[in-house]
Structure 1
């Protein structure tokens, strides 16, 4: 129990904090609702699961030998986030299918593939908790960490989608509704700029 609480205290803020994927989840949830956003969630979390497995079996040590590769990935990810921001600069219109070119499984896969922070989050988890998990669960320690992170990610991402869907229900008949997508787009631009700034600091 102590192990789980300490793991959750570290990993929940990292998984739930506003990042590229979470902002996109909220924006997509606002535009097309929870059900139509599920393919996007599956795409992101499928790749997150693959990342967890790769790092868990030792790929993380390979990444550590080539830290520049994560910086290049971060630049590509920033550019993709800017592209997503452009897609979201459209007025919210529930009767229109213009954004029913909503983001799907493929978009989720791409978003997570170029998300360097995803690699760092997974690497941090295994760095901090592999030994504790092994003491708790023996040879199943790595697998338990992978499952725990997958469940946390899916839950956090679903909540972000639901919150986006809830926001549009609350304000769809108000003056502010037409600015919601612009707000999400601005959030993505800020995230993208922050990622680029982070690359500059780590050069």
Structure 2
């Protein structure tokens, strides 16, 4: 129990700080509301659990053998987040047109798969909280705690985005909110390239 509490304390600033996932979910919450983000959240967090368990079980070593794999993932991830940023910033007012759609389950999963911050956090987490070789049960427990903690963080960011959108109900104010989210997410994409 004390190990789980220590893990949660370790994850608190990492999961709740602005990053690619949190910003995308805040923007989708502002634009479409919490209920509409549930498919993206399900895709993201299923991918989170699978990737975390895979890393904990040693599969990351196979990927690490591929030269340039980490840099390629960093570039693809930054490009995807930048694409999302442009899409959000140029989406217009909150009421939007019929072409506006929330991120789906596949987009949510892709967001995790190309998010270098997630891989770094997972690697740090296992280096600190998986003793020695670690058992399969310990890996799966850590993966589950990590995923549920992220789910809570993303839900909080989504609800915060939805609440913020209520303050910006007019077309012009909603447009500025989307531009703000887009610029913030664009800055995250640049950070991903430089990290």
Give the alignment partner of residue 159 of structure 2, picking from 157, 162, 170.
Answer: 162
Which digits, 9 at most, give the CA deviation of each residue in 1:99-132, with x for residues without a partner? 1x22111111221111122222112111110119
Paired residues of 1:91 and 1:180 also in contact (CA < 8 A): no
Unaligned runs of 5+ in 2: none
Q: Which moved more, 1:59-68 or 1:154-163?
A: 59-68
Could you tell me how far 1:173 is from its partner in structure 2? Answer: 4.3
Residue 177 of structure 1 deviates from its aligned partner by 2.9
TM-score (ref. length: structure 1): 0.86
Report the TM-score when normalising by structure 2.
0.90
Distance 1:17 1:2 in 2: 24
Q: Please give the alpha-carbon distance, in whole angstroms, between the structure 2 residues aligned to 1:83 and 1:66.
A: 26
Residue by residue over 1:49-76, the C-alpha shift from the partner in whole angstroms, topping out at 9 and shown as x without a partner, is 1111111211133344457311210111
Instruction: Name the structure 1 match of 2:193.
Output: 196
The answer for the alignment partner of 1:147 in structure 2 is: 144
* Alignment gaps of 5+ in structure 1: 199-203
Taking a change above 3 Å as real, the CA distance of residues 102 and 139 of structure 1, as seen in their structure-2 partners, is closer
- Is the contact between residue 27 and residue 161 of structure 2 (CA under 8 Å) also seen in structure 1? yes
* 8 Å Cα contact 1:60/1:123 also seen in 2: no
How many pairs does the alignment contain? 194
Corresponding residue for residue 201 of structure 1: none
Structure 1 residues 26 and 139 mapped into 2: Cα distance closer, same or farther (>3 Å)?
closer
Change over 3 Å in CA distance of 1:66–1:128 after alignment to 2: farther
RMSD (Å), alpha carbons: 2.2
